[in-house]
Amino acid sequence: MSFLRDQSALLQHPGAHHKTLLLQAHELYRAQVIERDDLCDLLELADGALAYAVETRLDESGNL
């Protein structure tokens, strides 16, 4: 969850950040730390974070 909240890493490298979030979520699921519903939630959060980062970067580049 702390990596999910790391906004500076998210905005600097959205694609790499998203990929790491997906890998971590699947790793937690494979280790049976989380259940399938939790995995779905984490994957949705990762996708939402990516969408936010892309939109924010587009907004910032439009304001330059």
Nearest Cα to 8, choosing from 25, 28, 16?
16
pTM beyond 0.75, yes or no: yes
How long, in residues, is the chain? 64
Residue listed under structure tokens 């494979």? 30
Domain boundaries, the chain: 7-58
- pLDDT digit string (tens) for 14-56? 999 999 999 999 999 999 999 999 999 999 999 999 999 999 9
Do 25 and 1 meet the contact criterion of CB atoms below 8 Å apart?
no
What DSSP string describes 3-40?
TTT-HHHHHH-HHHHHHHHHHHHHHHHHTTSS-HHHHH
